[in-house]
Chains A and B, each alone.
Chain A
Amino acid sequence: MKSIVVPTKDNLEDYQKLGTQSFLLPLKNYAVSYPKVYSIEEIEEMKRKNPNSEFFIVMNKTIFNKDLDSLVEILEKIETFAVQGILFYDLALLEIKHRFHLKTPFVWNQTHMVTNAKTCNYYFDNEVSYAVISGELAREEIYHLVESTKMKLFYTLLSYPIVAHSRRHLLTNYAKTSNKSDKKNLVIHEKVSNQDYLIEEISEGTSFFYHALPNHFSVLKKLDVSYVVLNESYIDHAFFLQLLSYTNRYLQNEISFNEMLETVNKLLSSSAPFLDNKTIYCVKKEGR
Chain B
Amino acid sequence: MKKVELLAPAGDLERLKVNLLYGADAVYIGGEKYGLRANATNFSLEEIKEGCIFAHKFSKKVYLTLNIVFHDEDMDGVEHYIHQVVDAGIDAFIVSDPFLISYIKNHFSNVEVHLSTQNSTTNVLAVSFFQKQGLDRVVLARELSKDEIKEIIDKTKIDTEVFIHGAMCTCYSGRCTLSNYVTGRDANRGGCAQVCRFAFKAEDASTFTMATKDLNMACYISDLIDIGVCSLKVEGRMRSLYYLATVIGTYRRLIDAHYEKKLSPAMLSSCEKVLKRVSNRENSTHFFMRDEDYTDQYYTGRQELSNQDYLGLITDYDTKNKCLIMVERNYFEVGDSVEIFTPSGEVFQMVIEHLYDEDMQKLEVARHPEQILKIPFEKILPPYSMMRLINKKSEV
Contact = CB atoms under 8 A, between A and B. Distances in A.
Contact of A62 (B122, B176, B186): B122
Interface string A72-94: 00000000000000000011101
Given A164-B175, A187-B203, A282-B38, A136 B180 contact: yes
Contacts of A121: 99
A120 to B, nearest CB: 9
B161 interface: no
A119 B70 contact: yes
Interface in A153-173: 161, 163-170, 172-173
Nearest to B71: A115
Interface stretch (B57-65, B194-202, B331-339, B354-362): B194-202
B359 to A, nearest CB: 34
A193 B183 contact: yes
Contact of A165 (B126, B175, B183, B201): B175
A92 B287 CA distance: 21
A173 B300 contact: no
Interface in A242-288: 273-274, 277, 279-284, 288
Given A279-B180, A281-B186, A112 B128 contact: no
Interface string B125-149: 1101110000000000101100010
B189 A279 contact: yes
Contact of A281 (B38, B171, B203): B38
Given A164-B171, A190-B200, A63 B122 contact: yes
Nearest to A112: B177
Interface residues of B, number: 72
Q: Which of A98, A178, A277 has the most CB of B within 10 A?
A: A178
B166 interface: no
A191 interface: yes
A148 B296 contact: no
Given A163-B181, A193-B183, A282-B190, A112 B71 contact: no
Contacts of A170: 170, 210, 297
Contact of A68 (B124, B172, B177, B195): B124
B181 A195 contact: yes
Name, among A115, A122, A178, the residue most crowded by chain B CB atoms within 10 Å (CB to CB): A115
Given A113-B69, A168-B170, A283-B185, A190 B98 contact: no
Nearest to B186: A279
A174 interface: yes
Contact of A95 (B39, B75, B128): B128
A237 interface: no
Nearest to A193: B182
A235 interface: no
A237 to B, nearest CB: 24
B181 A273 contact: yes
A210 interface: yes
A95 B126 contact: yes
A186 interface: yes
Nearest to A210: B181
A223 interface: no
A178 B180 CA distance: 29
Contact of B182 (A112, A168, A195): A195
B126 A112 contact: no
Contacts of B300: 177-178
Contact of B130 (A91, A110, A273, A277): A91
Contacts of B184: 273, 277, 279-280
A188 B180 contact: no
Contact of A145 (B68, B69, B72): B72
A116 B70 contact: yes
A194 B210 CA distance: 18
B206 interface: yes
In terms of DSSP, what is the predominant structure of the interface of chain A? mixed
A111 interface: yes
Max chain B CB contacts within 10 Å: which of A96, A163, A165?
A163
Given A115-B69, A178-B299, A281 B190 contact: yes
B315 interface: no
A188 B208 contact: yes
A277 B99 CA distance: 27
A274 B181 CA distance: 8
Contacts of B180: 136, 163, 273-274, 279
A280 B129 contact: no
A49 B237 CA distance: 56
Contacts of B299: 173-174, 177-178
Interface in B88-136: 96-99, 102, 119-126, 128-130
A58 interface: no
Contacts of A117: 72
A137 interface: yes
B236 interface: no
A172 B296 CA distance: 13
A189 interface: yes
B46 interface: no
A169 B143 CA distance: 12
A119 B98 contact: yes
A179 to B, nearest CB: 11
Nearest to B287: A167
Contacts of B293: 169, 173, 176
B208 to A, nearest CB: 5
B171 A166 contact: yes
B99 A188 contact: no
A42 interface: no
B191 interface: yes
B382 interface: no
Instruction: State the 9 A-B residue pairs at the shortest beta-carbon distance, nearest first.
Output: A92-B125, A173-B294, A279-B186, A188-B200, A282-B38, A164-B176, A95-B129, A177-B299, A166-B171
5 contacts: A68-B123, A68-B124, A110-B174, A113-B174, A173-B299
Given A165-B171, A281-B74, 16 more contacts: A62-B175, A68-B125, A91-B121, A91-B129, A110-B174, A117-B72, A136-B177, A144-B72, A163-B180, A165-B175, A168-B171, A187-B203, A188-B208, A193-B181, A210-B181, A283-B191
